């Protein structure tokens, strides 16, 4: 009888565990679906070329937790502005900090390999503080300089998304110290030497990026090609 009672108890515990698990899963946010649903609000003209900053602004303006903010920022490419598969794996890379030029390491979710090279070469990271509904948080973001006074502003990018005359359009993109925030560097922190060595010796962030970043602009035919580079350089 005692053995039978133990089996019954075990069965009940398993059933309750499964029930609560299903309840938890059903209440999880579908971040990707929300971005798809709001696509036309984020990009009224459907042009997302190099418009990762539009995603960042849309996300940070939401009334959300820091954890929500992190999850949303895994789903778009800061360089191209395209959505990313929710199961995508990030690249581990470094970008120079704007003021100190110190190398900051972290994870970058990208739509294609060349975007990792472009963000490493043409962006700078800055530490940013922001108050979410669960408190003040600090994190690193990718930034580019104000592109609005460029004579060769790329014609395949919607200039109105970025600019109000020659000033940054603060209603459309996030302005941090006079620079445009294009996306989030996940788990950003000061690099250790072993991490820098790993990134430089990696097949993608090392040899491939070295080749790409030394290729003349007019010869780039992969990724966003010259679009983001013209915007960010």
Is the dihedral angle over the CA atoms 218, 224, 229, 230 positive or is it negative?
positive
Determine the pLDDT at residue 175: 98
Domain boundaries in the chain?
31-232
Tell me what the pLDDT averaged over the chain comes to: 87
Determine the pLDDT at residue 8: 36
**What is the tens place of the pLDDT at every residue in 190-227?**
999 999 999 999 999 999 999 988 888 777 765 566 78
**What is the tens place of the pLDDT at every residue in 171-190?**
999 999 999 999 999 999 99
Q: Do the beta carbons of residue 59 and residue 35 sit within 8 Å? A: no
- Between CA 161 and CA 90, with CA 213 as vertex, the angle to 5 degrees is 70
Whether residue 69 has pLDDT greater than 50: yes
User: Which token pair is 121?
Assistant: 């070469």
| CA–CA distance, 149 with 45 (Å, rounded to integer) | 23
pTM of the model: 0.85
Whether residue 93 has pLDDT greater than 70: yes
């Amino acid at each position: 009888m005692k053995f039978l009672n133990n089996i019954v108890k075990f069965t009940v515990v398993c059933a309750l565990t499964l029930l609560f698990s299903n309840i938890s899963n059903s209440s999880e946010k579908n971040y990707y679906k929300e971005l798809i649903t709001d696509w036309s609000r984020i990009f009224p003209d459907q042009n997302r070329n190099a418009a990762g900053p539009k995603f960042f602004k849309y996300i940070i303006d939401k009334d959300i937790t820091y954890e929500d903010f992190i999850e949303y920022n895994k789903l778009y490419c800061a360089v191209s502005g395209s959505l990313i598969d929710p199961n995508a794996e990030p690249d581990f890379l470094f970008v120079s900090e704007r003021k100190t030029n110190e190398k900051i390491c972290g994870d970058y979710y990208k739509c294609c390999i060349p975007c990792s090279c472009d963000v490493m070469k043409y962006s700078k990271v800055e530490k940013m503080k922001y108050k979410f509904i669960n408190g003040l948080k600090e994190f690193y973001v990718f930034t580019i300089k104000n592109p609005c006074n460029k004579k060769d502003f790329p014609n395949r990018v919607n200039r109105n998304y970025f600019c109000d005359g020659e000033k940054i359009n603060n209603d459309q993109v996030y302005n941090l110290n006079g620079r445009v925030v294009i996306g989030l560097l996940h788990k950003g922190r000061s690099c250790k030497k072993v991490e820098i060595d790993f990134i430089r010796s990696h097949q993608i962030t090392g040899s491939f990026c070295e080749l790409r970043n030394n290729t003349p602009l007019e010869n780039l035919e992969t990724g966003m090609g010259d679009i983001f580079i013209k915007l960010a350089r």
